[in-house]
Chain A
Amino acid sequence: MTESWAINTFIIGCIILTIIPVAVCFYKDVLKGSEGEVSDL
């Protein structure tokens, strides 16, 4: 982590941004193995 809260938030944001779509892909393609889509709200 750096001395800047804004840059730290940016780094954490990048990690969250990566994790969520990867988790959704893992859920859809591996766990569920569905042909459907992620969300219809």
Chain B
Amino acid sequence: MIYNWIVFIIAAIGLISVGVISNKKIKAQKSQGGEGFLLGGKSIGAFVGAGTLMATGYSGWGFIGSPGTAYAFGSIEVLANFFFAPAIVFGTLFFANFMRKNAKLSGGLTIPDYVATTHSGTDEQKRLVHFIAGLATFIFLSVYMIGQIRAVGLVASQWLNISEVYASILLLLIVTIFTMQGGLLAVALTDTIMCIGMLIASVIVFGVILKDVSLTEMITAMGQIDPELINPTTSDPYGSSKYSVYLVFIYALLFTTTLPYMSVRFLSLKEDVKIHRMALYMVPMGIILSLIPFVGMFMYLRNPELSNPDSAMPVFLNTYLSPALGGIITLFILFAMLSTISSILQALASSLSYDMYTSIFKNKEIKSDTLNRVVVGITAIWGLFLTFLAPQGMLNQIAYIGTGGLISMFVGPVIMRAFVKANLKVCLYSMLTGFVVNVILVFFFKIGWVEAPILAGLAGSIIYLVFGYLGKPKIQAV
């Protein structure tokens, strides 16, 4: 246990140091007019861009939940988890430059700001759309963060042998300190460090499995126990059809391109960064991170009696790795969770300190970084407050509505904007349609969490495309 604490303290000092360095870099760039806190001074290069997108996209809970799902449902989870890799790579390859260029032309600093400034309309309409998009980001991501904080508290409490409450507070404190210090740049740099840790963890874990059993032997043995585990006839838990699992790719693509805490990275890239090279860095990262669910299949083969599938990874670490190595891997799993929390925290704080503030107070931007930092602190306290007060039972459903709601609201204005240049009214209708349809589908039709945002996003997109196209001549006449 003392060993875990020493590793943890060293890692925490390292992460906070990155925050301090980022702060100095931002200050140096501010003299050149760069937008420091919100977009990291637009100084994020190809490798850091790839690292931050991959670390944030492959949420830390994937290191626990994904092996758990593979343990319960077999090979379908390997495929479903993998779809996040091509979705993030192709989303970046085909949308990053489009969004970056539009943001540069319009001056958008956050995704709600991007949505408002890339559509034509009156100043009042712009502020209304900016406010609603910022408010939606704040509400939905607040809910989403609750699950992430609870997850990190659960893992860290076992690792450090303290209560979940203390573990959550301690880790959130570290994330808050480095986010307050360096804003998005600190988040991106620490994400990249964490991504390297996650990659090392994946390689070690997969290496340990292959040392014990080859891939083909594992698949054959599992097929003999239950053929459904290796050749599933349905996509359970992703859908009843055999091919429903492919919807995960569409979901992950929308997740990458529309969720504010993911796509804001596109706006923060250096002007001269080559997106196709960034995508090239992402490929091996994505493939290596996709190996994690094999832990679940391996554990099913070796220990099919686990009462809780989600314990597949912890049991694997305790059984097949030395305590020292298991401790390091747990740290990397915590890293993966922290990278997602830091990104959400940064997006939440900017929705409050920038999006809602500027839309209410008529574009009076908060110039002082001190205020931005204070808002990060307030947002962290808000996250903790919700974490311990929100009801337990409804969390998963609310979290799905959170990310799904945001995705379905932003698909039209962010993605369909590439095909039709609609105005702010249409943008607003599209957002509201996506939101309402998503809520109806989730609450009244018991539809899957992957299908709901896709269908709701489709509804919002149709509204955007049809009314955007019909409204085009009028806009041109004006």
Asked if A pairs with B, the answer is: yes
Q: Which residues of A contact B (CB under 8 A)?
A: 2-7, 9-10, 13-14, 16-18, 20-22, 24-25, 28-29, 37-41
Q: Determine how close the nearest CB of chain B comes to the CB of A1; give it in whole angstroms.
A: 9
Chain A residues closer than 8 Å to B94, beta-carbon distance: 38-39, 41
Summed over the interface, the residue pairs from A and B with CB atoms below 8 Å come to a total of 98
The residue on A at minimum CB distance from B86 is A17
Is B90 touching A20 in the complex (CB atoms < 8 A)?
yes
Complex Cα gap A9–B76 (Å)? 10
Tell whether B401 is near chain A: CB-to-CB under 8 Å.
no
Stretch of B156-164, B272-280, B328-336, B373-381 contacting A (4+ beta carbons < 8 Å): B272-280
Contact with A along B61-101 (1 / 0, CB 8 A): 00000000000001110110011011001100111011001
Residues of A within 8 A of B418 (CB): 41
Residues in B with CB closer than 8 Å to A6 are: 74-76, 78-79, 230-232, 245
Q: Evaluate whether A28 and B82 lie within 8 angstroms (CB atoms) in the complex, with A17-B287, A38-B93 already known.
A: no
Report the separation of the CA atoms of residues A14 and B94 in the bound assembly, to the nearest whole angstrom. 18
Residues of B within 8 A of A17 (CB): 85-86, 89, 283, 286-287
Instruction: Let me know if B215 is at the binding interface, CB within 8 A.
Output: yes
What is the chain B residue whose CB lies nearest that of A2? B219
Give the residues in chain B near A29, CB-CB below 8 Å.
Answer: 276
- A28 B276 Cβ-Cβ under 8 A: yes
Residues facing A in B289-332 (CB within 8 A) are 290
Could you write out 18 A-B pairs with CB less than 8 Å apart? A3-B220, A4-B219, A6-B79, A6-B232, A7-B78, A13-B79, A13-B83, A14-B82, A17-B85, A17-B86, A17-B283, A20-B90, A21-B276, A37-B97, A38-B275, A38-B276, A40-B97, A41-B95
Q: Which residues of B contact A7 (CB under 8 A)?
A: 75, 78-79, 215, 219, 230
- The chain B residues found within 8 Å of chain A, CB to CB, are 74-76, 78-79, 82-83, 85-86, 89-90, 93-95, 97-98, 101, 215-216, 219-220, 223, 230-232, 245, 274-277, 279-280, 282-283, 286-287, 290, 418-419
- Contact status A24-B230, CB under 8 Å: no
Query: 7 smallest A-B Cβ distances: which pairs?
Result: A6-B75, A4-B230, A41-B418, A37-B97, A21-B279, A6-B79, A38-B276
- Considering the chains assembled together, what is the distance between the CA atoms of A20 and B276 in angstroms? 10
Complex CA gap A4/B245 in Å reads: 15
Across the two chains, which residue of chain B brings its CB closest to A22? B280
CA distance A5 to B243 in the complex (A): 11
Given A6-B75, A6-B231, the answer on whether A37 and B275 have CB atoms closer than 8 Å is yes
Of residues A2, A9, A17, which shows the largest number of chain B Cβ atoms within 10 Å of its Cβ?
A17
User: If the complex has contacts A39-B98, A40-B97, are A2 and B276 also in contact, measured as CB distance less than 8 A?
Assistant: no
B219 to A21, Cβ gap below 8 A? Answer: no
Distance between Cα atoms of A2 and B297 in the complex (Å): 15
- Taking a contact as CB atoms under 8 Å apart, the answer to whether B86 and A25 are in contact is no
Q: Inside 8 A of A39's CB, which chain B residues have their CB? A: 93-94, 97-98
Contacts of A24 in B (CB 8 A): 93, 276, 279
B276 touches A37 (CB 8 A): yes
Smallest CB gap from A5: residue in B: B231
By beta carbon, the residue of chain A nearest B282 is: A21
Contact B274 A41 (CB under 8 A): no
The answer to whether B93 touches A21, judged by C-beta atoms less than 8 angstroms apart, is yes
A24 to B97, alpha carbons, bound, how many Å?
Answer: 14
CA distance A24 to B93 in the complex (A): 9
Inter-chain pairs besides A2-B219, A13-B83, A37-B275, 7 sampled, C-beta below 8 Å: A2-B215, A4-B75, A17-B86, A17-B286, A37-B97, A39-B98, A41-B98
Chain A residues near B286 (CB-CB < 8 A) = 17
B276 touches A25 (CB 8 A): yes
B85–A40 touching, CB < 8 Å: no
Residues of A within 8 A of B283 (CB): 17-18, 21-22
Closest to A13 in B: B82
B280 engages A21 (CB within 8 Å): yes
- Identify B89's interface contact among A3, A9, A21, A28, CB under 8 A: A21
Are B231 and A4 touching (Cβ within 8 A)? Answer: yes
Query: A9 CA to B95 CA in the complex, in Å?
Result: 25
Task: For residue A41, give the distance in angstroms from its CB to the closest CB of chain B.
Answer: 4
**CB neighbours of B82 from chain A (8 A):** 10, 13-14
